[in-house]
């Protein structure tokens, strides 16, 4: 018996608390919402049309299930010192109520996982995808020897909803959830006045300072009531297909898809995950050696592909008849001038200059700076995306 496959299948069939409630509601009030396994949990794939839902994320406010996110608590007198020695970012100087994005590495500097780490005073909270939690917990357990650190999976006590779009904060206010101005990855214990009657509602501002997005962490029993309150406030329900389009347009790599265990931190271009002044951590020697001796040979970047191209993840990138990279994620966009294929992937650093033409399969592609809204004239701009059919 393939025990690894069995564990994966059992784990990937987790259905989020919100999706359970939506299924129960649809069983009596309407047709079922199509669901899919997204980042380790079964959630809604689409409510209407993925491109229309993406428009809400771009121009209005979309609300979506974050039931694929999980939480781990770290307690004990050594928690800060120990965690600072485990991940690539600075935990030692992390202010209370704030978080950072970080990688977990093996001793060879390869990426075992990614996460947000928050300082909640007497507790550190690790937030990651459900698809990663087994590996992260096992790695933590391996490195706790004589340390005063207690690691607990608290995922069953919490679930999360997400809001994204320029109207997000107004929607929160309309739903009765008062939120002050927050910095990226800053948490706030909201004074909840909404109909859901939540006893606890923690709001976290998204990492990208250039866009409005929030996570709302609530007790699982309150997920559906909070969802309805946000929709009543004007939010548009959004499924995982639209989230994927937004992720790719924003140029955000996904662990297990765009970031693999064979990749090195600097190859991913996620320099905000690294701190070079924090001291030693697992894999730090390799990260520092790369910094001191020069760049890695590959880089993570975007590709604007000609027309509606038949390109899939894993497709090879060719330049001058030589293989110079690979595609990891693909999305098809609806623009004012027609459908357009965009992709994420890795390319040889000396080839991957913005504006450089390469070939992906049989299609021409242009290397593009991420996110896609900052490309040169002639490329995609956010105001031209997703004109309704």
Domain 1-294 fold: Gyrase A; domain 2 (3.30.1360)
Bigger pLDDT: 244 vs 33: 244
Structure confidence by residue, pLDDT tens digits, 267-302? 999 999 999 999 999 999 999 999 998 878 999 999
Structure confidence by residue, pLDDT tens digits, 50-63? 999 999 999 999 99
DSSP-assigned letter for residue 15: B
- What the block records as the tokens of 186 is 């800053």
Instruction: Please check the confidence at residue 325 and state whether its pLDDT lies above 50.
Output: yes
Residue span(s) of the chain under CATH 2.40.30.110 come to 297-389
Burial of 11 (0-12, 13-18, 19+ CB in 10 A): middle
Instruction: Please check the confidence at residue 6 and state whether its pLDDT lies above 60.
Output: no
Mean pLDDT over 140-161 rounds to 97
Supply φ then ψ for residue 161, to 5 degrees. -115, 155
| Nearest-angstrom CA–CA distance, 258 and 346 | 9
Q: What's the mean per-residue pLDDT of the chain?
A: 90
Instruction: Please check the confidence at residue 21 and state whether its pLDDT lies above 50.
Output: yes
Instruction: Please check the confidence at residue 87 and state whether its pLDDT lies above 90.
Output: yes
What pLDDT is recorded for position 194? 60
Give every strand in the sheet of 99-105, ordered side by side: 99-105, 111-119, 124-129, 69-75, 150-153
CATH of 297-389, one of 2.40.110.10, 2.40.30.110, 3.40.980.10, 1.10.760.10: 2.40.30.110
Please answer whether residues 71 and 158 qualify as being in contact, where contact means their C-beta atoms are separated by less than 8 angstroms: yes
C-alpha distance from residue 127 to each of 13, 160, 227, 247 (Å): 20, 11, 21, 18
Residue span(s) of the chain under CATH 3.30.1360.120 come to 1-294
What pLDDT is recorded for position 13? 76
Structure confidence by residue, pLDDT tens digits, 182-213? 999 999 998 777 655 555 789 999 999 999 99
C-alpha distance from residue 271 to each of 103, 120, 277, 303 (Å): 10, 24, 13, 20
Structure confidence by residue, pLDDT tens digits, 330-383? 999 877 777 889 999 999 999 999 999 999 988 999 999 999 874 333 444 444
């Amino acid at each position: 018996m393939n025990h690894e496959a069995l564990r994966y299948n059992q784990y990937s069939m987790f259905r989020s608390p919100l999706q359970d409630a939506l299924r129960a509601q649809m069983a009596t009030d309407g047709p079922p919402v199509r669901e899919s396994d997204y980042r380790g949990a079964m959630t809604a794939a689409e409510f209407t049309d993925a491109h229309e839902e993406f428009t809400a994320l771009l121009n209005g406010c979309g609300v979506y299930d974050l039931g694929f996110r999980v939480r781990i608590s770290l307690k004990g007198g050594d928690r800060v010192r120990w965690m600072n020695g485990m991940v690539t970012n600075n935990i030692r100087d992390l202010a209370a109520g704030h978080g950072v994005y970080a990688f977990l590495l093996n001793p060879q500097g390869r990426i075992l996982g990614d996460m947000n780490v928050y300082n909640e005073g007497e507790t550190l909270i690790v937030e990651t995808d459900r698809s990663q939690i087994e590996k992260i917990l096992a790695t933590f357990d391996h490195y706790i020897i004589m340390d005063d650190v207690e690691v607990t999976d608290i995922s069953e006590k919490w679930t999360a909803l997400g809001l994204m779009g320029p109207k997000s904060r107004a929607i929160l206010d309309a739903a009765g959830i008062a939120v002050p101005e927050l910095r990226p990855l800053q948490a706030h214990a909201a004074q909840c006045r909404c109909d859901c009657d939540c006893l606890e509602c923690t709001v976290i501002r998204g990492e990208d300072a250039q866009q409005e997005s929030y996570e709302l962490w609530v007790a699982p029993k309150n997920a559906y009531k909070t969802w309805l309150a946000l929709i009543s406030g004007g939010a548009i329900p959004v499924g995982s297909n639209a989230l994927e389009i937004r992720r790719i347009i924003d140029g955000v790599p996904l662990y297990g898809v765009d970031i693999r265990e064979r990749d090195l931190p600097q190859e991913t271009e996620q320099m905000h995950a690294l701190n070079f002044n924090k001291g030693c951590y697992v894999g730090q020697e390799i990260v520092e050696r790369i910094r001191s001796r020069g760049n890695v040979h590959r880089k993570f970047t975007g590709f604007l592909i000609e027309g509606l191209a038949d390109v899939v993840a894993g497709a090879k990138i060719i330049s001058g008849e030589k293989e110079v990279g690979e595609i990891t994620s693909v999305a098809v966009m609806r623009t004012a001038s027609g459908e357009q294929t965009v992709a994420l992937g890795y390319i040889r650093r000396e080839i991957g200059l913005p504006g450089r033409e390469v070939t992906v399969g049989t299609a021409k592609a242009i290397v593009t700076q991420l996110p896609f809204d900052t490309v040169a004239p002639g490329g995609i701009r956010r105001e031209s995306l997703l004109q309704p059919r």
